[in-house]
Chains A and B, each alone.
Chain A
Amino acid sequence: MSAAVLVRVETGDIDVAAELARLEALGGGGVASFTGIVRGGDGLTALELEHHPGITLSMMTQIAEQAAARWPLLGVTAIHRHGRLLPGDRIVLVAAASPHRAAALEATAFLIDWLKTRAPFWKKEFFADGTSRWVEARAADDDAAARWSTKP
């Protein structure tokens, strides 16, 4: 099965409905997706996402192609935003279309777990009191990604 891989990095909003409709039109039995949203609270006013423009697309493409190699997928989509985002804004969309729900759901979980630990993006948080800080990587994210490791 050869999957249609769509990978984008952009500053504008993600049209989730249009992206899912494109996957639905591939003729599979199911489409699964995950949308990441900027979490508010603790006085967070904005998030700035920096990335490594030279390699972001190729890393995301590698991750999408690994999902396509591992599950029987008709389509894989991974879209990540960069720049300044506000609470409630979409950050990332990953989605997979497959003849079977298990493949679509598992591939979607794999995509977001691997994007979180392998795609070269960094978040900086800005707060109402004027302070800012870089988000620290979480060991729990590494653990989530490790469960998909093919190595023993």
Chain B
Amino acid sequence: MQIDILYFARFREAIGRSAETVSLPEGVVTIADLIDWLAARGGGYAEALADRPTVRAAIGDSFADPETPIAGAREIALFPPVTGG
């Protein structure tokens, strides 16, 4: 399954890109699986995603919990807790 991943703020800077298209291996079923799989790449990925409770995700235009399945998703955004307002 091909999917677009977007990175924002601190994650974008650590990973060194704002977006990429990835092919997900079997076994990557939920948001948490996706984060684990990306973090296993090491480097900026591991650094950005190290503190799991602070990793936020959105599938399309809805926030998604770690256990949310990603089947059918076309675009997933990963970002730290928001600080607007």
Contact = CB atoms under 8 A, between A and B. Distances in A.
A58 to B, nearest CB: 4
A6 B85 CA distance: 16
Interface size class of A (residues with CB under 8 A): 20 to 34
Contacts of A122: 8-10, 79-80, 82-84
Contact of A52 (B54, B79, B81, B83): B79
Interface size class of B (residues with CB under 8 A): 10 to 19
A116 B84 contact: yes
B58 interface: yes
Contact of B80 (A59, A91, A137): A137
A126 interface: no
6 contacts: A52-B77, A54-B77, A116-B82, A124-B9, A134-B10, A137-B83
Interface of B: 6, 8-10, 12, 54, 58, 60-61, 63, 75, 77, 79-85
